[in-house]
Amino acid sequence: MLDKLLAVLADGAFHSGSELGRSLGISRSAVWKHMQRLQELGLEVYSVKGRGYRLPGGLDLIDAGDLQAQLSMVEPGLQQIEVVTEVDSTNARALQALQTGVRTGLFVAEYQHAGRGRRGRGWLSPLASSLCFTLAWRFNSGAAALEGLSLAVGLALQQALAEQGVEQVGLKWPNDLLVAQAKLAGILIELSGDAAGECQVAIGIGLNVALPEAVAEQLDQPCIDLRALGFSGSRTALLAALVRRLIQVLQRFEAGGFAQLRPDWEAVNVFQGQSVRLTSGTHSFDGVCLGVTDQGGLRLQTDKGQEVFHGGEISVRAHATA
């Protein structure tokens, strides 16, 4: 029912309660309850007596049929493409599908109740204001061969956005996309499987498209969205472009690891050659960012010489030396 209501309201025009009730086959009081639900999902709902309800600016909803058509020529093809209005987590949904035998799949949600970022942080995004999706993928080379995967994924997203005219995006080790130190997107990779055999991987992406100002103010770090960068294209077409590039990069990664992608990643590393501070738990390390290794580890020039740091709980922040 919520899907049908959103489809009607997506045009941004006023629709009376009686009109909506007739269209959906429900009472006006039920319409009002659904409007309350939309507000709970982060949407701004205008209600004007005598005119009805509207969503200011309308909604650019993901068109599942169009997405399927745009990805139908991708090789290898995706075994499953699922687009839903709301879900707990697209990563959880992808992992469930992998466990039931799905080889590859794309799982998309307009809203996540339990979307997550790194280190257990929540991913806050009102309905239809971002792209929240997970690509389910299988690798046959074992978990050890997946070092640098999050960097490869970030590079794929950066390249796809550049092709769409969004050229200001840089990468922050190990898995964020930034524009002028403000976060545009994050990546959460979860895997299961054999250390030496097949691994099932859920590659989760959260990309800010048009965040309401009220939501941006709630976040614990500077953020930016594609709308602020001048992007006005279709979310469906953008998602298809991101997935196509991501599949291409994953194929390259599986064939030759991260080493072949390393020069391209370092070319858009936002901290390349800068003084930085890494924090891991109660420990911190200061140094100059030299780039990354062929395995995706971060190279720092510290007072002890050149040191390499890998994933886990490490975070990176710009740090100016005295």
Q: Rounded to 5 degrees, what are φ and ψ at 104?
A: -140, 150
> One-letter amino acid identity for 315?
S
112 is an annotated ligand-binding site residue: yes
Using CA atoms, how far apart are residues 156 and 205, in angstroms rounded to an integer? 12
33 is annotated as an active-site residue: no
Annotated active-site residue in 54, 172, 183, 244: 183
Closest listed residue to residue 86, CA positions, set 1, 153, 197: 1
Question: Is 104 marked as binding a ligand?
Answer: no
Distance of CA 10 to the CA centre of its chain: 22
Determine whether 51 is an active site residue.
no
Compute the distance between CA of residue 322 and CA of residue 203 in angstroms, rounded to an integer: 39
Q: Is 118 a catalytic site residue?
A: yes
Q: Which amino acid appears at position 259 of this protein? A: A
From the list 22, 51, 121, 317, the catalytic residue is 317
Give dist(CA 68, CA 243) in Å, integer: 11
**Catalytic residue (choose from 54, 118, 244, 245):** 118
- Residue 183 labelled as part of a binding site: yes
Write down the residue that tokens 């080493």 correspond to.
Answer: 259
CB within 8 A of 285, min separation 6: which ones? 277, 278, 279, 300, 302, 307, 309
Q: Is 118 annotated as a binding residue?
A: yes
Q: Is 117 annotated as a binding residue?
A: yes
Assigned token pair, 177: 């996309």
Binding site membership for biotin: which residues? 89-91, 112, 116-118, 183
Annotated binding site: which residue ranges? Answer: 89-91, 112, 116-118, 183
Active site residues per annotation: 118, 183, 317
